[in-house]
Amino acid sequence: MSPDTHQPRARRRRFRLVLILAVLGVGAGTYAWQELIKPNVVIHKFGVVVPGEITRSGRLTPGTMRRLYNRTHVNTIIDLGMYRDDTPEEAAAERTVEELGIHRHRLFLKGDGTGNPNYYVHALRLMTDPANRPVHVNCNAGAQRTSAAIILYRVIVEGKTIPEVYPEAFQYGHHPATDWILMNYVTKWLEPIRQAYETGGWIEGYPIPEDAILKGE
């Protein structure tokens, strides 16, 4: 093989090697950003519900919980299902709220937004108590459970209608075509939740949240 033939082939091999390494580097960088860096520096699906008083998001890591605290001076977090018990993530979340002096209420609902309707009654009371503000409402994805709580707040507390406030959920990952269970639940339980909230009672047949019992509600 002549030197003139060998050199172009060697250059092509080097080019392919450099290209492969570049692709792997981009892939590794993307993975590191999405899985390791972004969850600790960007508050997942952050939104303002009532300026200076109520905010919302998806899951919080220790890093984003500190960012939330620095950004909003949050006093109370209403967690509608971020992490399960006995997980490293839950232990880290608990250590972080203790460190920051944040009051955190865990009301674990299902991922589709359904579950014990008294959890939403309790969430509304927590959200509207001036002593708790600034309040932050979150779940894991920030799309269903958090959206349900905000819809109920806007309708029951602010006096708006579901058609007025429902589109707000679309901004946070709720899709009407696939997530229809949520609105079935909200429309079914809207009036019982409203009545319980406004009368200071609870919906019969469903457990009262533990921290509400401890407070004597």
CATH 3.20.19.10 fits 43-214, yes or no: no
pLDDT at 190 over 50: yes
Q: pLDDT by residue (tens digit) across 82-122?
A: 999 999 999 999 999 999 999 999 999 999 999 999 999 99
Determine the pLDDT at residue 31: 47
Taking the C-alpha atoms of residue 119 and residue 129, their distance in angstroms, rounded to an integer, is 15
Domain ranges of the chain: 1-41, 43-214
Return the H-helix or E-strand segment holding 198: helix 180-199
The predicted structure's pLDDT at residue 212 = 85
Strands of 21-96, DSSP E: 47-50, 54-57, 76-79
Q: What is the pLDDT of residues 11-27, one digit of tens each?
A: 667 766 665 655 555 55
For 116, 168, 169, the CA distances from 164, given in Å and listed in that order, are: 25, 9, 11
Question: How many Å apart are CA 141 and CA 144, to the nearest integer?
Answer: 7
Identify which of 149, 194, 123 has the alpha carbon closest to the alpha carbon of residue 57: 149
The tens digit of pLDDT for each residue in 36-94 reads 555 566 999 999 999 999 999 999 999 999 999 999 999 999 999 999 999 999 999 99
- 154-189 pLDDT tens trace: 999 999 999 999 999 999 999 999 999 999 999 999
pLDDT tier at 5, thresholds 50, 70, 90: low
